[in-house]
């Protein structure tokens, strides 16, 4: 794999598992430096609130061939101006509604973000390249930059998670993982339906930051169990012993929980919020819109035979293997090379 001298601006999030998160990409592209927030050892409040300060640190501390901003919605403000002779690549994570707030109004990060956005509205157009994680982001970015600079490169998954289907593990529950962009109203409606029809079927929610008011509502259901903190091995156990992953989403691009579920052979019932180009569409994932559709599809996954479950898991594992991080890293490195000036490529 060809290497190129590049600097990364990124956040290492506390809620990501040891092998999760977009910063896993750096293990395979081998940047010269990674700078930004580590939520396990957070810096002072100024740097946490105004992450684009790291753009200046990168400018005056390093001399890269390429700058890659892993979380553009958080860090990208001045880089295309600071690095006027160095290509800047930025990855965008937010779904269309949130992404539009950032690229059109600049207020994803609040009032100061909006002020700085007003100064650097042309920063998107000056990017060497933008990486989107789902096709549904493209139309938003085309409002502020040339379409030929926008590249779809999906979120990756760590190769170590691919361990095959565990047929011997008894299925015990319907699993939901995560908090961001979850439709809790729909979750509660499904919970209520199953409490009436199948009260013995347990719904397990694994989540590190559930708002208190939502937890209070959900705790009144006897078929609900909430787990705030789990280890990576415990999370894997929850996936492998689930009839399915139930992901009620209000919007989405890449979704770590969905991808992890497929890697562990667990089928997914989720909301119809992805583009028609979403790569995973087999009988292992179901995109729904109405309450009845969600209930019926969850029931169908509960009733799978062991052979059906094994076949679904095998297909899911095979399909999702195309986004292992080494393959994704190769695509990103090729993008770096394409935007860097030929004379400076190693």
Mind listing the pLDDT tens digit for each residue in 200-241? Answer: 999 999 998 899 999 999 999 999 999 988 998 999 999 999
Q: Give pLDDT tens digits for 234-285.
A: 999 999 999 999 999 999 998 989 999 999 999 999 999 999 999 999 999 9
Q: How far is it, in rounded angstroms, from Cα 337 to Cα 128?
A: 11
6-156+324-344 and 159-323, same CATH topology: yes
φ/ψ of residue 293, rounded to 5: -65, -45
Residue 323 to residue 218: CA distance in whole angstroms: 35
Scanning the structure block, which residue is given the tokens 């081998």?
A: 30
Let me know: does 79 contact 20? Beta carbons within 8 Å.
Answer: no
Average pLDDT for 290-311: 97
Please give the backbone phi and psi of residue 166, each rounded to the nearest 5 degrees, phi first.
-100, 90
Write down the mean pLDDT value for the chain.
92
Architecture of the domain whose range is 6-156+324-344: 3-Layer(aba) Sandwich (3.40)
C-alpha distance from residue 264 to each of 104, 162, 320 (Å): 38, 7, 11
Q: Which tens digits make up the pLDDT trace of 54-69? A: 999 999 999 899 999 9
Q: Does domain 159-323 fall into CATH 3.30.479.10?
A: no
**Full-model pTM:** 0.92
Return the percentage of the chain with pLDDT > 90, whole number: 78
CB contact set of 60 (below 8 Å; sequence gap of 6+): none
Integer Cα distance of 300 and 11 in angstroms: 39
Q: Residue 294: what pLDDT?
A: 98
The domain spans of the chain are 6-156+324-344, 159-323
Give Cα separations from 159 to 15, 309, 317 (angstroms): 20, 22, 11
């Amino acid at each position: 794999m060809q290497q190129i001298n590049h600097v990364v601006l990124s956040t290492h999030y506390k809620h990501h598992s040891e092998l999760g998160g977009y910063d896993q990409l750096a293990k395979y592209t081998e940047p010269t430096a990674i700078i930004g927030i580590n939520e396990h050892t957070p810096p002072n409040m100024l740097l946490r609130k105004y992450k684009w300060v790291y753009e200046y640190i990168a400018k005056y501390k390093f001399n890269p061939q390429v700058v890659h901003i892993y979380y553009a919605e958080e860090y990208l403000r001045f880089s295309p101006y600071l690095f006027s002779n160095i290509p800047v690549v930025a990855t965008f994570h937010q779904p269309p509604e949130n992404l539009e707030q950032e690229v059109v109004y600049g207020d994803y990060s609040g009032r100061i973000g909006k002020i700085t956005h007003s100064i650097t509205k042309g920063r998107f157009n000056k990017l060497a390249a933008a990486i989107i994680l789902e096709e549904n982001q493209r139309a938003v970015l085309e409002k502020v930059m040339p379409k030929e600079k926008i590249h779809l490169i999906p979120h990756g998954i760590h190769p170590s998670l691919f361990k095959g289907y565990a047929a011997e593990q008894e299925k015990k529950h319907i699993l939901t993982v995560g908090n961001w962009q979850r439709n809790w109203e729909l979750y509660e409606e499904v919970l209520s339906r199953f409490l009436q029809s199948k009260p013995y079927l347990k719904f397990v929610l694994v989540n590190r930051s559930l708002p208190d008011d939502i937890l209070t509502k959900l705790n009144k259901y006897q078929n609900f169990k909430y787990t705030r903190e789990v280890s990576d091995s415990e999370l894997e156990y929850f996936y492998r012993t689930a009839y399915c992953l139930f992901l009620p989403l209000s919007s989405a691009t890449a979704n770590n929980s969905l991808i992890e579920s497929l890697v562990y052979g667990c089928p997914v019932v989720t909301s119809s919020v992805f583009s028609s180009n979403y790569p995973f569409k087999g009988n292992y994932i179901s995109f729904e819109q109405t309450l009845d559709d969600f209930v019926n599809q969850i029931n169908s996954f509960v009733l799978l035979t062991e052979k059906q479950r094994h076949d679904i898991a095998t297909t899911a594992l095979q399909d999702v293997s195309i986004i292992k991080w080494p393959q994704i890293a190769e695509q990103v490195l090729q993008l770096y090379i394409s935007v860097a000036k030929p004379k400076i490529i190693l």
